[in-house]
A = this chain, B = another copy of it.
Amino acid sequence: SRMEDSIKKTLADNPVVIYSKSWCSYSMEVKALFKRIGVQPHVIELDHLGAQGPQLQKVLERLTGQSTVPNVFIGGKHIGGCTDTVKLYRKGELVTMLSEQDIN
Protein backbone atom coordinates (compact mmCIF):
# COMPACT_ATOMS: atom_id res chain seq x y z
CA SER A 1 0.00 0.00 0.00
CA ARG A 2 1.04 3.62 -0.47
CA MET A 3 1.26 4.25 3.26
CA GLU A 4 3.38 1.14 3.75
CA ASP A 5 5.77 2.34 1.02
CA SER A 6 6.00 5.75 2.64
CA ILE A 7 6.89 4.15 6.01
CA LYS A 8 9.57 1.98 4.35
CA LYS A 9 11.06 5.04 2.66
CA THR A 10 11.11 6.95 5.96
CA LEU A 11 12.87 4.02 7.65
CA ALA A 12 15.38 3.71 4.81
CA ASP A 13 16.19 7.43 4.81
CA ASN A 14 16.58 7.97 8.55
CA PRO A 15 18.75 6.08 11.06
CA VAL A 16 16.43 6.85 13.98
CA VAL A 17 12.68 7.12 13.49
CA ILE A 18 10.03 7.70 16.15
CA TYR A 19 6.30 7.52 15.46
CA SER A 20 4.97 9.66 18.29
CA LYS A 21 2.04 11.66 19.65
CA SER A 22 3.05 15.18 20.63
CA TRP A 23 1.03 15.33 23.88
CA CYS A 24 2.00 11.83 25.09
CA SER A 25 4.48 11.76 28.00
CA TYR A 26 5.96 8.37 26.97
CA SER A 27 6.62 9.80 23.50
CA MET A 28 8.21 12.87 25.13
CA GLU A 29 10.42 10.63 27.29
CA VAL A 30 11.81 8.65 24.37
CA LYS A 31 12.45 11.80 22.30
CA ALA A 32 14.26 13.34 25.30
CA LEU A 33 16.38 10.20 25.71
CA PHE A 34 17.73 10.40 22.16
CA LYS A 35 18.36 14.12 22.60
CA ARG A 36 20.35 13.37 25.76
CA ILE A 37 22.46 10.85 23.82
CA GLY A 38 23.06 13.59 21.23
CA VAL A 39 21.03 11.95 18.46
CA GLN A 40 18.41 13.78 16.39
CA PRO A 41 15.60 11.32 15.61
CA HIS A 42 13.22 11.73 12.69
CA VAL A 43 9.92 12.24 14.48
CA ILE A 44 6.48 11.73 12.98
CA GLU A 45 3.71 13.17 15.20
CA LEU A 46 0.68 11.02 14.42
CA ASP A 47 -1.67 13.58 16.00
CA HIS A 48 -0.52 16.21 13.51
CA LEU A 49 -1.63 14.17 10.48
CA GLY A 50 -5.42 14.48 10.77
CA ALA A 51 -7.20 11.38 9.54
CA GLN A 52 -3.93 9.88 8.28
CA GLY A 53 -2.63 9.52 11.84
CA PRO A 54 -4.85 6.59 12.89
CA GLN A 55 -4.33 5.01 9.45
CA LEU A 56 -0.56 5.19 9.80
CA GLN A 57 -0.84 3.74 13.32
CA LYS A 58 -2.81 0.80 11.88
CA VAL A 59 -0.23 0.14 9.15
CA LEU A 60 2.56 0.29 11.75
CA GLU A 61 0.65 -2.29 13.79
CA ARG A 62 0.45 -4.57 10.76
CA LEU A 63 4.19 -4.13 10.06
CA THR A 64 5.50 -4.41 13.63
CA GLY A 65 2.80 -6.02 15.75
CA GLN A 66 2.86 -2.89 17.91
CA SER A 67 -0.33 -0.83 18.09
CA THR A 68 0.96 1.78 20.52
CA VAL A 69 3.07 4.92 20.51
CA PRO A 70 5.87 5.72 20.72
CA ASN A 71 7.06 3.32 18.00
CA VAL A 72 10.84 3.38 17.62
CA PHE A 73 13.09 2.20 14.78
CA ILE A 74 16.90 2.21 14.55
CA GLY A 75 18.55 1.46 11.22
CA GLY A 76 15.17 0.36 9.89
CA LYS A 77 14.87 -2.22 12.68
CA HIS A 78 11.84 -2.17 14.98
CA ILE A 79 13.02 -1.48 18.56
CA GLY A 80 9.72 -1.17 20.39
CA GLY A 81 8.15 1.47 22.61
CA CYS A 82 9.40 3.75 25.38
CA THR A 83 10.01 1.00 27.95
CA ASP A 84 11.89 -1.20 25.44
CA THR A 85 14.09 1.70 24.33
CA VAL A 86 14.92 2.72 27.91
CA LYS A 87 15.78 -0.93 28.73
CA LEU A 88 18.20 -1.09 25.77
CA TYR A 89 19.74 2.21 26.87
CA ARG A 90 20.32 0.96 30.42
CA LYS A 91 21.94 -2.21 29.09
CA GLY A 92 24.31 -0.08 27.01
CA GLU A 93 22.95 -1.62 23.82
CA LEU A 94 21.22 1.49 22.49
CA VAL A 95 24.41 3.49 22.16
CA THR A 96 26.08 0.47 20.48
CA MET A 97 23.24 0.22 17.93
CA LEU A 98 23.41 3.95 17.26
CA SER A 99 27.19 3.83 16.74
CA GLU A 100 26.60 1.28 13.96
CA GLN A 101 24.38 3.75 12.13
CA ASP A 102 25.46 6.52 9.79
CA ILE A 103 24.36 9.44 11.94
CA ASN A 104 25.27 12.97 10.81
Contact = CB atoms under 8 A, between A and B. Distances in A.
Interface of A: 24-26, 82
Q: Tell me the dominant secondary structure on chain A's binding face.
A: helix
A82 B26 CA distance: 12
6 contacts: A24-B24, A24-B25, A25-B25, A25-B26, A25-B82, A26-B26
A19 to B, nearest CB: 15
A25 B82 CA distance: 10
A16 to B, nearest CB: 21
Nearest to A83: B25
A6 to B, nearest CB: 25
Nearest to A67: B23
